[in-house]
Chains A and B, each alone.
Chain A
Amino acid sequence: MSTLSIPATLHEDRGGPGQPLLTVRDLSKGFSVKGGLFGRGAGRVRAVDRVSFDVLKGETLGVVGESGCGKSTTARVLMGLLDGDAGEILFDGEGVGSRALPLRAYRRQVQMVFQDSYSSLNPRLTVEASIAFGPGVHGVPKREAIARARSLLARVGLEPARFADRYPHELSGGQRQRVNIARALALEPRLVILDEAVSALDKSVEAQVLNLLLDLKEEFGLTYVFISHDLNVVRFISDRVMVMYLGQVAEIGETEALFERPRHPYTAALLSSMPSLDPDARTMEAPLAGDPPSPIDPPPGCRFHTRCTFAEEVCSAREPALFEMSAKHRAACLMLPPGSGHSRAPATPEAAHV
């Protein structure tokens, strides 16, 4: 695979394997909601509210949560498509937008695959023109960009001779999503954000695309942020999983630990909503009732207390911080830190780290 004529330093691993590729600290993003005659009054949706997490080099971080929990907004802020209101994003140790890493340089290294495979391809461009667009923007000569697009097409399993000159409407959903993946890879990014990238595909195609993503990850040394509402898919592909609720991180930890022993009641409820193939393990009652509360006016204290079975008085009074059960597993629930005032909280610090 030919390399882009991009200064090598930009794609170099700087901080070493121990340094997270992406560090997000206290990221917030709100939208003002228009209401009333002159667009005043209604207030502000806090779509992402003081979110902090790391994405380690070479891992796949799964992000799950109900619709409206801030998954996609987080992705768009990470992509630089939206400006965050507060907080900072570090990419391999460098602040995004700083002198060492201007936004344009950052964008080459972070690419995104969108959910809607049709609307994410320009209907008036051929497949190869769509893929070659990004490199072209960064000054790669046309001929080279086209050659690169064709080799990427081959790599994602679409024979260039047959597909390069086609238009998006001539392809199936799975083929289009492969084109989108090729397009995202055309700039040789280090981080790829997959925003519900396989959710619109049918199951057999979904499996093929997931396997393709795994192969590409290995071949190009990619790091993924994999956003999905499909817990089975997230469990399959992720090394770690982050659960979001109403714009905040509810729990984050290694996939198996989190799926085997969820520590946040919201995670537990989400997991028990997964349909099981075992008839004895049928879900008999809905684990969660109703919709999440409005993010315009989130409930005080723990945001989940309005739907939580274990909610006590303290939950509406105190906002839980992310509590570290082990080095790799954290959850924001008052039942976890000792002495939080919740009756189920452990009595001693030792008991908390089991």
Chain B
Amino acid sequence: MSAALEGSPALPVPAAAPSQATGYWTSVWRRLRRDPVAMGAAIVLLLFVLAAILAPYIAPADPYRSSMLRRLRPIGTAGYPLGTDELGRDMLSRLIFGARYSLLMGITPVALAFGIGGTIGIVAGFAGGRVNTAMMRTIDIFYAFPSVLLAVALSGALGAGFGNALLSLTIVFIPPIARIAESVTTQVRSRDYVEAARASGAGALTLLRVHVLGNVLGPIFVYSTSLISVSMILASGLSFLGLGVRPPEPEWGLMLNTLRTAIYVQPWVAALPGLMIFIVSISFNLLSDGLRSAMDVKQ
């Protein structure tokens, strides 16, 4: 019995909600720390984030400066550790600066969709009945289109550019997040502790705040983190199609596109942006997986 107490706050009277939250999140963190795969992924992501933030300081060269004389150098060339692209720009520097775009394109739409879709889903699930049906059937209309197609169509309609790509990706991610939020909320709402709280006379807002939100935000958050990699890949796809970031910006998807002509000349250099997309997106997926099992209270 006392072993179960280990790690939970030993303070005599924790006054309010914050201490409860720490109790839960401390134990989540403790479990996450014991998961080597999730921790590895977290470290990789941390390195990418640091690289993105510190790009101007750590990049060895200007990512935009081209040189017609030194085009498509192989990996390991003196002065160009990862070679150069089709315009003779330093690949390493471009990849480091590219992390900024890719992380932004991965995280921003998902964060926005988490806020909007999560709110829609929680409201629909908590209200139930006809409100739920009306809201969710509207959301379902978006399911008629495959997400890639929807993103391409929206970006195409809005016009190319970084901001519009973010916007169209946000719209693409609202329906799936709303769907998950709705189902989790519907589930939690029918639990006995919500009934018991209702029976003690609590109003809808108090129920939502104390008993529903704390139990639904976790699962919605975990699901959303698994969409970050999808968002990154879709964003790269948009750039590849010329609908996202425009040249000469060093965005990984765009770099993959412009380097594809060089695939027979310098296959390893041409594959590098793809490799970066792969590493970052799989790290997000592994971390989100680890987070999901760490947040499972019943373990």
A58 contacts the other chain (CB 8 A): no
Give the size of the chain A interface in residues (CB under 8 angstroms): 42
Q: Are B215 and A120 in contact (CB under 8 A)?
A: no
The chain A residue sitting closest to B218, CB to CB, is A124
B8: min CB distance to chain A, Å: 6
B199 contacts the other chain (CB 8 A): yes
Chain-B contact segment, one of A129-137, A203-211, A235-243, A302-310: A129-137
Q: Mark B16-60, 1 if CB is under 8 A from A, else 0.
A: 110010011000000000000000000000000000000000000
A72: min CB distance to chain B, Å: 11
The chain B residue sitting closest to A172, CB to CB, is B1
The chain A residue sitting closest to B194, CB to CB, is A122
CB-contact partner of A124 in B14, B15, B202, B214, under 8 A: B214
A108 contacts the other chain (CB 8 A): yes
Q: Are A183 and B206 in contact (CB under 8 A)?
A: no
Q: Which residues of chain B are within 8 angstroms of A104 by Cβ–Cβ distance?
A: 201
Q: Are A111 and B200 in contact (CB under 8 A)?
A: yes
A259 contacts the other chain (CB 8 A): no
B197 contacts the other chain (CB 8 A): yes
B118: min CB distance to chain A, Å: 17
What CA separation (Å) do A137 and B211 show in the bound complex?
13
B4 contacts the other chain (CB 8 A): yes
The chain B residue sitting closest to A186, CB to CB, is B200
Q: Are A124 and B16 in contact (CB under 8 A)?
A: no
The chain A residue sitting closest to B193, CB to CB, is A122
Q: Are A114 and B200 in contact (CB under 8 A)?
A: no
Q: Are B206 and A122 in contact (CB under 8 A)?
A: no
Q: Are B199 and A81 in contact (CB under 8 A)?
A: yes
A319 contacts the other chain (CB 8 A): no
What CA separation (Å) do A13 and B92 show in the bound complex?
82
Q: Mark B63-107, 1 if CB is under 8 A from A, else 0.
A: 000000000000000000000000000000000000000000000
Q: Are B192 and A114 in contact (CB under 8 A)?
A: yes
Q: Which residues of chain B are within 8 angstroms of A120 by Cβ–Cβ distance?
A: 191-193, 195-196
Q: Are A126 and B23 in contact (CB under 8 A)?
A: yes
Chain-B contact segment, one of A48-56, A161-169, A215-223, A343-351: A161-169
Scan residues 184-218 of chain B and give those whose CB is less than 8 A from a CB of chain A: 191-193, 195-203, 206, 210-211, 214-215
The chain A residue sitting closest to B196, CB to CB, is A120
Scan residues 218-234 of chain A and give those whose CB is less than 8 A from a CB of chain B: none
Of B20, B197, B199, B298, the most chain A CB neighbours within 10 A belong to: B199
Known: A126-B14, A169-B297. A112 touches B199 (CB 8 A): yes
CB-contact partner of B4 in A126, A170, A184, under 8 A: A170
Query: 7 A–B contact pairs at CB < 8 A?
Result: A107-B200, A107-B201, A108-B200, A126-B14, A138-B200, A165-B10, A170-B8
